[in-house]
Amino acid sequence: MSATHLPLARRAPNLVGSVIDSSTSLLASQTHDIVRFAMGAPSDDLMPVRVFNQYYGESTPGKYTYGATDGEPELVEQVLALTQLQGIETSADRITITTGGMQGLDLACKLFVDPGDLVVVEGPTYTNGIATALSYGAEVLEAPLDENGLVVEELPELIARAGRTPKAIYTIPTFQNPSGATLSRARREQLLELAERWGSVIIDDDPYGLLRFEGGPVPGFTQIAPGHPLVFSVRTFSKILAPGLRVGWVDAPTELQQLLINAKQAMDTCTNVPAQHLVANFLKDGHLDTHLRWVKGLYQERKNAMRDSLRTHFGNGVRSTNPEGGFFLWLAFAGAYADIHTQKLFEPALRHGVACIPGPAFSTTGAFSDALRLCFATSSPERIDEGVVRLKRAADEMLEG
Ligand code: PMP
């Protein structure tokens, strides 16, 4: 039912839904077997639930009441230890614990984006990131992306054409969602220079950086320019541990922390306290390292399995990226399959028992209609092969129909 007869705020029409999130409930309502390439989440068997249960089972006095808005000190301490291991210089007065990465994005836009402000995003990019910027009235400008991430060299020309400088540049620099691409060091440096020239904040959304399973590391913005006043880093435990915990953090300039606390107090008071203690204990007891080593091995195997299956079943009918970490592979139909419109493929694919997200979901312009985002992290190699076979059946049916 439409709500237009209600006294809605002007921003209400800017609240666009997320195709990705909606697919969770759509898939839950399906009664037939579906290979799930749609959601970007670790599969249940890859979440360390037994260890979690152990911590939740502990007597936890004081852990079921309100906590500090900027986060439980035990978790902040563990986040600092984790960042220190990565060679990142930060401090407790730069860290705010958030309710997942989404809250970090929301806080960034709340602090920096006014209605009508220009926000540069990668094309394609994470749907919910676009949705957050739009919810604050941003005008989104999509900049191209290649195998080395955002094509930073093209930004000056794009911005000149737009006739105004961006307030924010939203980037997913490592194992990008949806493409799997990683922004090169040179481009990170160039982007920092442009942000300084334009006075734009870089919203550095990096949920997958700790999931590198091959290739050499690329230093992050926080390593290249420690404490840079224009870098707002959004992090989450969703991909490295479990998304249902809803625990993440922001690493941002100290002078923003009180504003972040004020904004968060007007949103949710504090992040779920028992979940914060669970994560803090998990890290303190040294489980993260073992866990990451285990899952990264599996993700690498799964990525290779997906690329092998695509080659076997589609031959040169598809091209795909070859990410060195993270969850996603970006596929573009080619050759005999070049005319497939992936939004039209969604329904037959689901009927044939495979779910993936069509390319246009990652853009505001309707682009990428030949592309699909496939999450390789969720399924075993055997299931991945089955999923690709089902995808081919659906694609063949479309071509024949
Ligand atoms: N940013 C990106 C790039 C993501 O892929 C995701 C999760 N899909 C998020 C942010 C949101 O993370 P969370 O689930 O912790 O809110």
pLDDT tens-digit readout, 164-180: 999 999 999 999 999 99
From the CA of 57, how far away is ligand 1's center (Å)?
28
Alpha-carbon distances of 63 from 54, 69, 113, 282, 284, rounded to whole Å: 15, 14, 35, 15, 17
From the CA of 229, how far away is ligand 1's center (Å)?
23
Ligand 1 atom 5 nearest Cα: 177
Ligand 1 atom nearest to 248, measured from its CA: 15
* pLDDT tens digits, one per residue of 335-371: 999 999 999 999 999 999 999 999 999 999 999 999 9
| Letter string b/e over residues 6-30, b meaning 16 or more CB atoms within 10 A of that residue's CB | eeeeeeeeeeeebbbeebeeeeeee
* pLDDT tens digits, one per residue of 268-287: 999 999 999 999 999 999 99
Ligand 1 atom nearest to 125, measured from its CA: 3
CB of 177 shorter than 6 A to ligand 1: yes
Ligand 1 atom nearest to 41, measured from its CA: 8
At residue 26, the pLDDT reads 78
CB of 23 shorter than 6 A to ligand 1: no
CB of 233 shorter than 6 A to ligand 1: no
Q: What is the ipTM of this complex?
A: 0.99
| Letter string b/e over residues 330-367, b meaning 16 or more CB atoms within 10 A of that residue's CB | bbbbbeebeebebbebbebbbebbbbbbbbbbbbbeee
CB of 102 shorter than 6 A to ligand 1: yes
At residue 101, the pLDDT reads 98
Ligand 1 atom 10 nearest Cα: 101
Confidence category of residue 213, pLDDT binned at 50, 70, 90: very high
CB of 42 shorter than 6 A to ligand 1: no
Backbone angles phi and psi of 185, in degrees to 5: -60, -45
CB of 180 shorter than 6 A to ligand 1: no
Q: What is the pTM assigned to this prediction?
A: 0.96
From the CA of 239, how far away is ligand 1's center (Å)?
8
- Quick one: average pLDDT of 65-71? 95
Determine the residue of 79, 128, 235 to mutate for testing ligand 1's pocket, defined as the one with the most ligand atoms within 8 A of the Cβ atom. 128
CB of 243 shorter than 6 A to ligand 1: yes
From the CA of 6, how far away is ligand 1's center (Å)?
32
**Cβ-Cβ contacts under 8 Å for 222 (sequence gap 6 or more):** 83, 88, 89, 90, 204, 228, 231, 233, 251
Mean pLDDT across the chain, nearest whole number?
95
Rounded CA-CA distance 220/86 in Å is: 10
CB of 251 shorter than 6 A to ligand 1: no
At residue 209, the pLDDT reads 97
CB of 172 shorter than 6 A to ligand 1: yes
> Where is 354: in which H helix or E strand?
strand 354-355
CB of 40 shorter than 6 A to ligand 1: yes
Alpha-carbon distances of 79 from 16, 58, 149, 352, rounded to whole Å: 32, 22, 27, 43
Amino acid identity of residue 207, one-letter, is: P
Ligand 1 atom nearest to 104, measured from its CA: 16
Confidence category of residue 1, pLDDT binned at 50, 70, 90: low
- Quick one: average pLDDT of 278-298? 96
At residue 61, the pLDDT reads 67
